[in-house]
Amino acid sequence: MKATLSANPFREGLRIERTPSPCTMIIFGATGDLTARKLIPALYNLVLERLLPPGFSVVGFARSGKSNEQFRSELRDSVEKYSRTQPLQKAIWDSFAEGVFYHQADYADPDGYAALSKLLHRIDCERGASSNRLFYMATPPAAYQEIIGQLGATGLAAPGACPTGSAGNRCGEWARVIVEKPFGKDLASAKALNQSLLSVLKEEQVYRIDHYLGKETVQNILVFRFGNGIFEPVWNRRYIDHVQITAGESVGVEGRGGYYDQSGALRDMVQNHILQLLALVAMEPPSSMDANAVRDERVKVFRALRPIGGSQSESFTVRGRYGPGSLSGTRVAGYSEDTGVDHESTTESFVALKLFIDNWRWADVPIYVRTGKRLPKRITEISIQFSCPPLLLFGEAGESMSPNTLTMRIQPDEGISLRFEAKLPGQTTRLRSVNMDFRYSTSFGAQPPEAYERLLLDCMLGDSTLFTRGDEAESAWEFVDGIRCGWDQHPPQDFPNYAAGTWGPESARRLLAEDAREWRRL
């Protein structure tokens, strides 16, 4: 019998819904906000949907002292407050909480890891977790290298390694580590972090998490592009005039001035979230939906970005900082008034960029991105504006025609809309722009899962498609470092340069006006 090729190679890499093998998740920094707001609510919802394996267990690793019962009680309060599914189902929570444990130790204490190994062995024996391990770095980045070194020294992160005294029990098939962003603060530190990780782990064990990639609407970009036959043929420089990506936040620094003042909008948003959205919009079709095939294409986009540095930073970038203003009728303070902010710093809270991707698909198509804090509303969207028809056939009516626009709304009001021209009813030819609108909430009648639910489950299943590979992170930092070097040579002279509650500095409007374009009204 002759072998036949798969009729649809894209299906080969698609994850079907299945349950991971038994495992234990160890959360370093388990008393922090990330655990309370995101991780435990995500795990609880996965339990509700029967997507976690029998015997699944969680060990919280942190320095403060508390009992298992106290830890479980605090996590229950978090689920009641932050879970997307309400009210809490007591029987489900009680069953889940039986597998939740707390381990007190310092991140640099070898004895703490030895005691952790014994605790994990006991959990394996009592709950059948099979020695599969998922380590989650929910600590400040400064602790990453210490923790990774200790995991390497104790052998806890070695896949297939059995803890002391486990003779006769089935050893684990895998050990994986999830690393939260930021993946460094520049190219040099990103390389150092990757070297530290890979001195203990293999690349396939490392899952660099960017929660934007776990959003349903972000995942849908690939399905929209490569699962439909009508869009991909026009997804190129011949038909697209330009692309706009906006990630606006209405909140300010919110008491995180000490952290944010060392980061800024370029590092905090552009290097990861914005560039990942750009990669999904601009990438070539992968040969399959295999994780590395998809990530290979994302890396190619980063490497094709036209560098911005030196004097170019003045022409292709805008940065801003918000001052006092009004938001939803309420007066709000400026950036420099937040706790922990260095009044001498030049950290930006707003960035706008004009980017070019130097490849055959996108040559000379400008891609405008903007992100900032204290903007009028919280919104993230990608807008593809198509070129106008080459000949206007409708006389004066044609002069008012608007370009066709395809908009993918990432948050809130998740969905996709296509704007096109239509004739108004009547005896004369008058045109009006109309929308074809798809909304997740009305079309599917169900609330989409939180990003962390999908990403945690994918990691347990060994699917790294929605996680950032090491060379991806380094390529993104290389591009961002060029911008920062240019900024260092030309310090801003006008901070603050936009009022809270506005869409950024006037120079952001001019960035597009110089090309006879304008930002979308949101």
Residues identified as active-site: 273
Radius of gyration of the chain (CA): 25
Closest CA relative to residue 420, chosen from 408, 402, 438: 402
CB 38 within 8 A of CB 80: no
Task: Give the dihedral of Cα atoms 407, 409, 413, 419; nearest 10 deg.
Answer: 0
CA distance 121 to 17: 29
Q: Do the bridges between strand 57-62 and strand 24-28 make them parallel or antiparallel, or are there none, so unpaired?
A: parallel
CA distance 418 to 404: 7
Both structure tokens of 22: 């038994």
What angle do helix axes 291-304 and 275-282 make, rounded to 10 degrees?
Answer: 100
CA distance 187 to 192: 9
Burial 6-23 (b: 16+ CB within 10 A, else e): eeeebeebeeeeeebebb
Closest CA relative to residue 247, chosen from 476, 47, 410: 410
Other CB atoms closer than 10 Å to residue 31's CB: what's the count?
Answer: 18
CA distance 167 to 165: 6
CA distance 133 to 25: 6
CA 453 remoteness from chain centre: 13
Q: Which residues is 419 bridged to in the sheet?
A: 405, 435
Both structure tokens of 47: 């339990």
Q: Do the bridges between strand 367-372 and strand 350-355 make them parallel or antiparallel, or are there none, so unpaired?
A: antiparallel
- φ, ψ of residue 317 in degrees (nearest 5): -135, 155
Q: Do the bridges between strand 133-137 and strand 24-28 make them parallel or antiparallel, or are there none, so unpaired?
A: parallel
CB 44 within 8 A of CB 457: no
Both structure tokens of 110: 């070898």
Decide: helix, strand or coil at residue 376: coil
Both structure tokens of 268: 């905090």
Looking at residue 192, its amino acid is A
Burial 66-85 (b: 16+ CB within 10 A, else e): beeeebbebbbebbeebbeb
CA 384 remoteness from chain centre: 21
